């Protein structure tokens, strides 16, 4: 009676027909499914939740969490240093090996690669002080789970080789070495290959108290390959450095060679006598070429350029030297024509208000120094005739003098100046006196000239080397310019 009066209370009929269809995998349309379904769970996600299938979904989530906890419990946690950088890293440090890459994220791979490259360059720098220390540091990289191929091994031996030669030549040896890095490193991945472009700074304290401290910085391109969890450094080279020559050399080269040129486009005035303060020029150059600083606790890399001037990036060498000359008392000549070799200014009169070519291009700066009567060319190095009385001119430069280099294109001298430097000191050892120099792009701070020349001209190691220097492999010609202590407008 109740069932007839209250049809809502009737017990629903069991759908045995639908269940039989599920067991047989019958593709017929099932109750509750809007279409013919082959899946044993044909209903939409919302319908699944209504029918009690949420239990299976929850179980899968719990399994994932359990596995994560098990991994964290079984394997040692990564060190704090491994947690720096960008991205989420779920990699771990396995068996205490720093460079064994267990990461599964791009950010994790990046951190391992950068840490490995920094360790490699720091090990290379140890060669300035001790050959055995550098070799031991490279060996330690391998025990930490990475590999170093033949070419980068030879490249890493470069500082040790140059340091040994410097000690043989003049008794010079670094007693302390520190390595720092710019924070703008770039990492690119392609499959299992990584390419790292990184700028490294090196500070050296010498065994000569008069020489004191030097520093240098360079940008490197490091290539790595990964096999399973092991990264191998396969190739290392200096990043290409663009020439600081004007796009078209024109009259600047002929001017430096001694030919005449039109007068600067400014009103003719009374000649004035000016004094070149070498000490002030040197102080400026040292301040704005140093990249490694000791903050009381550790060495810090900081490549800061004077914000009062435009920063020309990889071609800032002549701009930097011009700034030092101005700090030393060189007067700006003004004018409005940037291509006039006698106009020397960082802010010409309108309409463009730009630097003159003689301010920012190495070849034009050399031309201005000679044409303006503020300096004179000396015999180039290496000399064509070793019996020439001036064949040693480059080694007799004094603080405040200038030095230019021709070493491009393709690392071969072609008669056009590519780079500018300023002499910032001298030191005497074993009866031989040589200058030290400073520069931008890349930075050198009070570096002995003989060492700088060897870095530039020593051969690069081949892909499968027997021995190697780890130099830049340039064929260079150096042009010294002796500056006068007084000059006239």
Kind and range of the H or E run holding 449: helix 449-457
Q: Is 28 exposed, middle or buried (0-12, 13-18, 19+ CB in 10 A)?
A: exposed
Cα separations in angstroms, 296 against 169, 300, 301: 34, 10, 14
pLDDT score for 82: 36
Euclidean distance between CA atoms 193 and 87, whole angstroms:
19
Both tokens assigned to 332: 């700006």
Tokens 């020593």 identify what position?
Answer: 458
Cα separations in angstroms, 469 against 127, 151, 163, 185, 215: 12, 11, 11, 25, 19
| DSSP-derived secondary structure letter, 330 | P
In this structure, which long-range contacts are made by residues 132-141, counting pairs with CB atoms below 8 Å and at least 24 apart in sequence? 134/159, 134/160, 141/99, 141/116
| DSSP-derived secondary structure letter, 314 | G
pLDDT score for 464: 62
Euclidean distance between CA atoms 489 and 335, whole angstroms:
13
The closest alpha carbon to 370, from 278, 267, 479, 284, belongs to 479
Euclidean distance between CA atoms 482 and 400, whole angstroms:
9
pLDDT tens-digit series, residues 19-68 = 444 444 444 444 454 444 444 444 444 444 444 444 333 333 333 333 33
| DSSP-derived secondary structure letter, 462 | P
Regions of the chain short of the pLDDT cut 50 = 1-5, 7-9, 16-31, 33-92, 251, 258-270
Helices 158-170, 106-125: inter-axial angle, 10-degree rounding: 20
Q: Residue 313, CB half-sphere, CA atoms under 13 Å: how many?
A: 4
Cα first-last separation, the chain: 124
Euclidean distance between CA atoms 251 and 97, whole angstroms:
60
pLDDT score for 76: 39
The closest alpha carbon to 338, from 324, 349, 322, 326, belongs to 349
Q: Residue 106, CB half-sphere, CA atoms under 13 Å: how many?
A: 7
- Per-residue DSSP letters for 407-434? --STTB--SS--EEEEEEEEEEETTEEE
pLDDT score for 359: 98
Euclidean distance between CA atoms 54 and 48, whole angstroms:
7
Euclidean distance between CA atoms 472 and 221, whole angstroms:
12
Euclidean distance between CA atoms 399 and 387, whole angstroms:
26
pLDDT score for 170: 86
Backbone φ and ψ for 181, nearest 5 degrees, come out as -140, 140
The closest alpha carbon to 114, from 95, 124, 126, 101, belongs to 101
Contacts of 464 (CB under 8 A, 6+ apart): 150, 151
Q: What is the per-residue burial (b if ≥16 Cβ within 10 Å, else e) of 363-399?
A: bbbbbbbbbbebbebbbbbeeeeeeeeebebbeebeb
- DSSP H helices, 317-391, are 317-327, 357-360, 362-371
- Per-residue DSSP letters for 10-76? SPPPP-HHHHHHHHHT--SBPTT-SSB--SSS-S-HHHHHHTTTHHHHHHHHHHHHHHHHHHHHHSP
Contacts of 134 (CB under 8 A, 6+ apart): 123, 124, 125, 126, 127, 156, 157, 159, 160
Residue 202, SS3 per DSSP: strand
Whole-angstrom Cα Rg for the chain: 34
pLDDT score for 293: 92
The closest alpha carbon to 475, from 399, 380, 409, belongs to 409
């Amino acid at each position: 009676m109740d069932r007839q009066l209250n049809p809502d209370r009737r017990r629903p009929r069991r759908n045995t027909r639908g269940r039989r269809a599920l067991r047989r995998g019958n593709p017929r349309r099932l109750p509750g499914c809007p279409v013919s379904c082959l899946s044993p769970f044909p209903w939409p996600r919302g319908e699944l939740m209504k029918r009690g299938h949420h239990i299976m979904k929850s179980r899968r989530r719990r399994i994932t969490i359990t596995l994560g906890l098990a991994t964290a419990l079984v394997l040692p946690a990564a060190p704090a240093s491994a947690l720096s950088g960008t991205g989420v890293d779920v990699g771990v440090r396995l068996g205490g090996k720093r460079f064994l890459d267990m990461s599964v994220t791009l950010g994790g791979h990046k951190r391992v690669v950068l840490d490995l490259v920094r360790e490699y360059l720091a090990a290379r720098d140890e060669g300035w002080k001790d050959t055995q220390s550098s070799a031991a540091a490279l060996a330690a990289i391998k025990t930490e789970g990475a590999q170093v191929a033949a070419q980068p091994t030879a490249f890493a031996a470069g500082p040790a080789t140059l340091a040994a030669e410097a000690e043989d030549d003049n008794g010079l040896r670094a007693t302390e070495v520190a390595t720092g890095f710019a924070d703008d490193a770039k990492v690119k991945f392609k499959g299992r290959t990584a390419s790292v472009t990184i700028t490294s700074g090196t500070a050296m304290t010498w065994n000569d108290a008069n020489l004191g401290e030097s520093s240098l910085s360079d940008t490197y391109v490091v290539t790595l390959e990964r096999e399973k969890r092991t990264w191998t450094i396969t190739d290392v080279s200096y990043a290409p450095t663009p020439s600081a020559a004007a796009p078209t050399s024109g009259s600047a080269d002929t001017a430096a060679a001694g030919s005449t040129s039109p007068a600067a486009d400014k009103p003719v005035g009374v000649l004035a006598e000016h004094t070149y303060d070498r000490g002030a020029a040197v102080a400026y150059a040292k301040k704005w070429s140093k990249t490694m600083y000791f903050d009381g606790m550790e060495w810090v890399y900081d490549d800061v350029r004077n914000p009062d001037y435009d920063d020309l990036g990889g071609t800032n060498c002549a701009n930097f030297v011009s700034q030092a000359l101005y700090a030393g008392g060189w007067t700006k000549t003004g004018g409005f024509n940037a291509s006039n070799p006698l106009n020397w200014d960082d802010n010409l009169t309108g309409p463009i208000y730009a630097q003159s070519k003689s301010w920012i291009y190495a070849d034009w700066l050399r031309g201005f120094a000679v044409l303006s009567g503020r300096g004179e060319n000396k015999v180039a190095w290496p000399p064509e005739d070793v019996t020439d009385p001036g064949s040693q001119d480059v080694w007799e430069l004094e603080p405040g003098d200038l030095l230019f280099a021709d070493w491009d294109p393709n690392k071969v001298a072609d008669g056009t100046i590519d780079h500018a430097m300023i002499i910032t000191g001298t030191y005497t050892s074993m009866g031989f006196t040589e200058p030290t120099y400073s520069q931008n792009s890349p930075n050198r701070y009070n570096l002995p000239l003989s060492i700088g020349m060897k870095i530039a001209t020593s051969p690069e190691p081949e892909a499968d080397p027997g021995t190697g220097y780890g130099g830049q492999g340039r064929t260079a010609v150096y042009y010294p310019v002796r500056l006068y202590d007084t000059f006239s407008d």
